[in-house]
């Protein structure tokens, strides 16, 4: 229920959304499938792919102007030090 409300709120405000897969092999269907569609997503469900996915997520946030310059590299270093 809460995921639906958050997704609806994000859509209504026309905010950027970057889907994250947290459950291995999960394929969204119904309203979530329609909302996510063919968007770029990052798969954080597999420990062996975690660092690569987080690096891609940080890079995407940087491209969208959410993280810049020094903050980008500081965030990446911090996440990799504290990850799995």
What are the residues whose beta carbons fall under 8 Å from the beta carbon of 35, sequence distance 6 or more? 7, 11, 28
pLDDT, tens digit, for every residue of 50-84?
888 888 888 888 877 766 656 666 666 666 665 54
Which residue matches tokens 């997503």?
A: 41
pLDDT, tens digit, for every residue of 26-51?
888 888 888 888 888 899 999 898 88
- Say what the pTM is: 0.66
Q: What phi, psi does 43 have (nearest 5°)? A: -90, 105
Q: Which residue has the higher pLDDT, 72 or 21?
A: 21
Q: What phi, psi does 46 have (nearest 5°)? A: -115, 120
CB 76 within 8 Å of CB 58? yes
């Amino acid at each position: 229920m809460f995921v639906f409300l958050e997704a609806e709120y994000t859509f209504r405000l026309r905010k950027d959304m970057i889907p994250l897969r947290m459950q291995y092999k999960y394929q969204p269907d119904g309203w979530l499938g329609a909302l996510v569609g063919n968007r770029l997503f990052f798969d954080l469900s597999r420990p062996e792919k975690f660092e690569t996915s987080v690096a891609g997520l940080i890079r995407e946030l940087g491209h969208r102007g959410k993280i810049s310059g020094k903050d980008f590299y500081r965030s990446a270093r911090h996440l990799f030090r504290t990850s799995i």
